[in-house]
Amino acid sequence: MGGMKRDALSGEEDAHRPTTLGDLEAEDVDVFCWCNRCGHNAVLPIETLVGRLGPAQPVPEIGVRMRCNACGAKDVAAPPSWPSLGQVSNHN
């Protein structure tokens, strides 16, 4: 395989890999956890998650490892807790 093709495919693979806890740690973004059963929610510090699960842990798989502290359900969503843009107004 030629070098240009190999480089192009390598870049494509990187673009499609899931975000990891290490990626969020580099951006200083925590994880927002939401129980789909009872609505209980919390923001978990990224440092805690990296310490427990490691920086290579894919973010989409975090929720399956969690249990709600309020109701005990294992139906937890855990997306990144992106910084808020604040109130958006003057939509045209």
The number of folded domains in the chain is: 1
Measured between alpha carbons, how far apart are the two ends of the chain, in Å?
51
- Supply the pLDDT for residue 10: 63
| Residue 34, domain CATH | 2.20.28
DSSP-derived 3-state class of residue 90: coil
Task: Say if 9 falls within a structural domain.
Answer: no
The token pair that represents 27 in the structure block: 């951006």
Report whether 80 contacts 24 (CB < 8 A).
Answer: yes
Task: Say if 92 falls within a structural domain.
Answer: no
Task: Calculate ∠ Cα 56-72-39, nearest 5°.
Answer: 85
pLDDT surpasses 80 at 83: yes
45-71 tens-digit pLDDT: 999 999 999 999 999 899 999 999 999
Phi, psi of 65 (to 5 degrees): -95, -5
User: For residues 83 and 8, which has the higher predicted lDDT (pLDDT)?
Assistant: 83
23-48 tens-digit pLDDT: 999 999 999 999 999 999 999 999 99
Task: Say if 86 falls within a structural domain.
Answer: no
| Mean of pLDDT values over 13-28 | 87
Domain of 71 in residue numbering reads as: 18-77
